[in-house]
């Protein structure tokens, strides 16, 4: 649920702080006061792209912060934690900063975020239904998305889409096998020769580093022998050997320690040094015993290294990469061999198509059920919204070939008056009728969706009288189970709100600024009376406003 919205230096707004509550909140104001600014700013906090010029003149940046409680959407908490965003007290804070140059930054709970992450975080929290949403309803893909959303078929839609592309890939593999066999044969022959050549060195490819080390030792064995002997002589065998000198020094230190026991630690260090030297001499003798010139072995290693260098030059890789290259060639040869098994490829294609039909079939079942239920629900709402006798028919038309979106096209057909045959929504409904049908569909979707907060931005344009009262009742009913914010110009809708915000516009210091005020009971009467009577508010309009609010 949305709990707080902060807007600073955005268009006409210098600074606004708004707290929100459950139920139906209405937002009213005179034309041009900036009612839709709140929704536009909130949309930026939810990840919409920012356009240039949204920063209030004279300001360096605009800032919009939306705060939500996650009590209704606990499933979002694991997503936030996995994405590295802190979750404190079950709250979510989405913040957007836009500088005067048009660049923007986004934050989730104080940490930098991408616009995509803002959208992902906001998606389960809030839906905005704009006044032009009904125009999108004329598009075939929107009608399909509406029925899928109503059916709760997101998982089946994804499964159908994935199965379709898996089938497309299997079909492409079979087609390539049938049409490019000669090219694959040539590639396979080349790979076979290369693999045979790379297998000649055997395990040498995987032991390149070990062979290099052994070769270096044999190539410099004389130097290593001479060095070992010199070290052993200097440490232990010569008259001036380190071990002998260290023994004399230890004797001298023992005499000193007898006079001053504080040299005990120094004595222990020299004793340890003597033991280390002795161990080093033993290690050098063992090493030296294994240093034997072996011209035959050296020549063999020369040849093996030369062979691997030759293969590396031929394939334009480093010698240590030859082993991985062999594995790559073998894997590719395996793929090519599989491509030549036409029976297996055709069986794989058939299995993929069967999987698609299973996924698409499950989606079709959900669509058929949803089409019947949504048609009836919208038809009932149309009667309530002064379209008595009209009805909505959702048609599922089978397609000749599989499609990524399923086995049928979805079409909304409507009859707006009794006795008229239904026709495509785009051709039959007038602007006002389309607006009411769209509102009926939007509230139907909101009734089945799990989003806790709904915003309607002047979706009641073009209606009035008893229809407006019906719209108000419908939104109030929705507000009984959801948090609903409605921007409206209709007093019949405004009177149904549990909370009422009013937008006003004034000039301060030569600049126009919008302000939003939470109205008390008396102020609500005045605002509804203004909406009823215009500039001239009489006692009669006030009484009428009070009666509407009381009813």
Selection from 43-52, 58-67, 291-300 with the highest mean pLDDT: 58-67
Answer for the pair 27, 488: CB distance below 8 angstroms, yes or no.
yes
Kindly report, residue by residue over 101-156, the tens digit of the pLDDT: 888 999 999 999 999 999 888 888 887 876 555 567 788 888 898 899 899 898 99
The better pLDDT of the pair 355, 516 is held by 355
Residue 248 lies in a domain: yes
The parent domain of residue 215 ranges over 185-338
Distance from C-alpha of 160 to C-alpha of 472, rounded to nearest angstrom: 39
Task: Looking at the structure, tell me whether residues 121 and 195 fall in a common domain.
Answer: no
pLDDT of residue 155: 94
Answer for the pair 353, 169: CB distance below 8 angstroms, yes or no.
no
Q: Rounded to an integer, what is the distance from CA 134 to the centroid of its chain? A: 28
**∠ CA 176-181-185, rounded to 5°:** 130
Answer for the pair 110, 93: CB distance below 8 angstroms, yes or no.
yes
Residue 333 lies in a domain: yes
Sequence-ordered list of residues with C-beta below 8 angstroms from that of 114, at least 6 positions apart, any chain: 106
Distance from C-alpha of 361 to C-alpha of 336, rounded to nearest angstrom: 34
Task: Looking at the structure, tell me whether residues 203 and 85 fall in a common domain.
Answer: no
Residue 426 lies in a domain: no
What share of the chain in percent tops pLDDT 70? Answer: 95
Task: Looking at the structure, tell me whether residues 110 and 226 fall in a common domain.
Answer: no
Task: Looking at the structure, tell me whether residues 33 and 77 fall in a common domain.
Answer: yes
Task: Looking at the structure, tell me whether residues 236 and 260 fall in a common domain.
Answer: yes
Average pLDDT, rounded, for the chain:
86
pLDDT of residue 432: 67
Residue 487 lies in a domain: no
Distance from C-alpha of 387 to C-alpha of 132, rounded to nearest angstrom: 20
pLDDT of residue 219: 82
pLDDT of residue 345: 85
Q: Which of 338, 359, 387 is the last residue of a domain?
A: 338
Distance from C-alpha of 391 to C-alpha of 203, rounded to nearest angstrom: 78
Residue 438 lies in a domain: no
What is the rounded average pLDDT of the residues 65-90?
Answer: 87
Count Cβ neighbours within 10 Å for each residue of 109-119 and write b for 16 or more, e otherwise: beeebebebbe
Band (pLDDT 50/70/90 cuts) for residue 181 is: low
The residue among 451, 484, 441 whose CA lies nearest residue 150 is: 441
Task: Looking at the structure, tell me whether residues 117 and 237 fall in a common domain.
Answer: no
Distance from C-alpha of 538 to C-alpha of 536, rounded to nearest angstrom: 6
Distance from C-alpha of 120 to C-alpha of 78, rounded to nearest angstrom: 13
Kindly report, residue by residue over 374-431, the tens digit of the pLDDT: 999 989 888 887 777 888 999 999 999 999 999 999 999 988 777 778 888 878 777 6
Task: Looking at the structure, tell me whether residues 200 and 325 fall in a common domain.
Answer: yes
Task: Looking at the structure, tell me whether residues 213 and 332 fall in a common domain.
Answer: yes
**pLDDT tops 60 at residue 538:** yes
pLDDT of residue 375: 93
3-state secondary structure of 177: helix
Name residue, tokens 């007290």: 89
CA-to-CA separations, 131 to 5, 128, 436, 439, 523, in angstroms, rounded: 21, 10, 11, 9, 27
What is the three-state SS of 497-517?
CCEEEEEEEEEECCEEEEEEE
Q: Which of 338, 361, 382 is the last residue of a domain?
A: 338
Task: Looking at the structure, tell me whether residues 235 and 102 fall in a common domain.
Answer: no
Return the sign of the alpha-carbon dihedral for residues 99, 105, 108, 110: negative
pLDDT of residue 383: 83
**pLDDT tops 90 at residue 358:** yes
**pLDDT tops 80 at residue 214:** no
What share of the chain in percent tops pLDDT 90? Answer: 31
Answer for the pair 366, 154: CB distance below 8 angstroms, yes or no.
no
Domain containing 71 — which CATH number? Answer: 3.40.50.300
Kindly report, residue by residue over 257-291, the tens digit of the pLDDT: 888 888 999 989 999 998 998 899 899 889 888 88
Answer for the pair 367, 396: CB distance below 8 angstroms, yes or no.
yes
Provide φ and ψ at 294, rounded to 5°. -140, 80
Sequence-ordered list of residues with C-beta below 8 angstroms from that of 373, at least 6 positions apart, any chain: 150
Residue 407 lies in a domain: no
Of all helices (H) and strands (E), which one includes residue 283?
Answer: helix 264-289
Band (pLDDT 50/70/90 cuts) for residue 363 is: very high
Q: Rounded to an integer, what is the distance from CA 102 to the centroid of its chain? A: 24
pLDDT of residue 196: 86
pLDDT of residue 387: 78
Task: Looking at the structure, tell me whether residues 227 and 255 fall in a common domain.
Answer: yes
Task: Looking at the structure, tell me whether residues 190 and 121 fall in a common domain.
Answer: no
Task: Looking at the structure, tell me whether residues 202 and 114 fall in a common domain.
Answer: no
**Per the structure, how many domains does the chain have?**
3
**pLDDT tops 90 at residue 440:** no
Provide φ and ψ at 398, rounded to 5°. -65, 145
Residue 345 lies in a domain: no
The residue among 122, 146, 121 whose CA lies nearest residue 133 is: 146
Residue 406 lies in a domain: no
Q: Which of 283, 308, 338 is the last residue of a domain?
A: 338
């Amino acid at each position: 649920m949305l709990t707080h919205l902060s807007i600073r230096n955005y268009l006409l707004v210098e600074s606004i702080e708004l707290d929100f509550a459950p139920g139906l909140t209405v937002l009213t104001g005179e034309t041009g006061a900036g009612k839709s600014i709140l929704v536009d700013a909130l949309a930026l906090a939810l990840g919409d792209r920012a356009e240039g010029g949204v920063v209030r003149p004279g300001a360096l940046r605009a800032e919009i912060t939306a705060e939500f409680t996650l009590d209704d959407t606990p499933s979002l908490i694991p997503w936030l934690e996995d994405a590295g965003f802190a979750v404190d007290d079950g709250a979510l804070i989405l913040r957007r900063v836009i500088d005067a140059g048009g660049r923007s930054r986004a934050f989730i709970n104080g940490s930098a975020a991408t616009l995509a992450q803002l959208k992902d975080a906001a998606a389960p929290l809030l839906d905005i239904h704009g006044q032009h949403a009904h125009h999108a309803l004329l598009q075939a893909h929107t009608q399909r998305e509406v029925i899928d959303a109503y059916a709760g078929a997101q998982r089946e839609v994804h499964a159908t889409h994935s199965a379709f592309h898996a089938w497309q890939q299997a079909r492409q593999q079979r087609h390539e096998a049938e049409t490019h066999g000669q090219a694959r044969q040539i590639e396979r022959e080349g790979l076979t020769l290369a693999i045979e050549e790379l297998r000649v060195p055997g395990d040498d490819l995987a032991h390149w580093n070990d062979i290099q080390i052994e070769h270096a030792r044999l190539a410099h064995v004389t130097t290593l022998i001479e060095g070992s002997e010199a070290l052993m002589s200097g440490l232990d065998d010569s008259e001036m050997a380190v071990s002998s000198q260290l023994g004399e020094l230890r004797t001298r230190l023992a005499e000193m320690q007898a006079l001053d026991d504080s040299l005990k630690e120094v004595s222990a260090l020299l004793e340890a040094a003597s033991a280390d030297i002795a161990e080093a001499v033993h290690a050098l003798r063992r090493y030296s015993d294994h240093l034997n010139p072996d011209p035959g072995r050296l020549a063999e290693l020369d040849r093996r290294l030369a062979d691997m260098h030759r293969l590396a030059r031929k394939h334009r890789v480093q010698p240590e990469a030859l082993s991985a290259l062999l594995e790559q060639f073998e894997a590719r040869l395996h793929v090519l061999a599989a491509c030549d098994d036409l029976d297996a490829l055709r069986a794989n294609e058939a299995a993929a198509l069967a999987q698609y039909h299973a996924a698409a079939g499950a989606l079709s079942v959900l669509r058929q059920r949803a089409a019947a239920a949504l048609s009836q629900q919208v038809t009932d709402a149309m009667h309530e919204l002064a379209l008595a006798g009209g009805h909505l028919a959702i048609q599922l038309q089978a397609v000749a070939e599989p499609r990524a979106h399923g086995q049928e096209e979805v079409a909304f057909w409507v009859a707006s008056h009794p006795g008229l045959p239904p026709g495509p929504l785009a051709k039959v409904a007038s602007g006002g009728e389309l607006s009411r049908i769209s509102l009926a569909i939007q509230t139907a979707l909101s009734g089945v969706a799990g989003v806790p907060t709904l915003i309607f931005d002047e979706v009641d344009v073009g209606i009035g009288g008893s229809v407006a009262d019906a719209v108000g009742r419908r939104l109030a009913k929705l507000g009984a189970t959801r948090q609903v914010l409605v921007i409206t110009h209709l007093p019949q809708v405004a009177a149904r709100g549990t909370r009422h915000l009013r937008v006003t516009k004034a000039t301060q210091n030569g600049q126009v600024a919008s302000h939003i005020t939470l109205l008390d009971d008396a102020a609500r009467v005045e605002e509804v009376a203004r909406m009823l009577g215009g500039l001239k508010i009489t006692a009669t309009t006030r009484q009428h406003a009070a009666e509407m609010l009381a009813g």
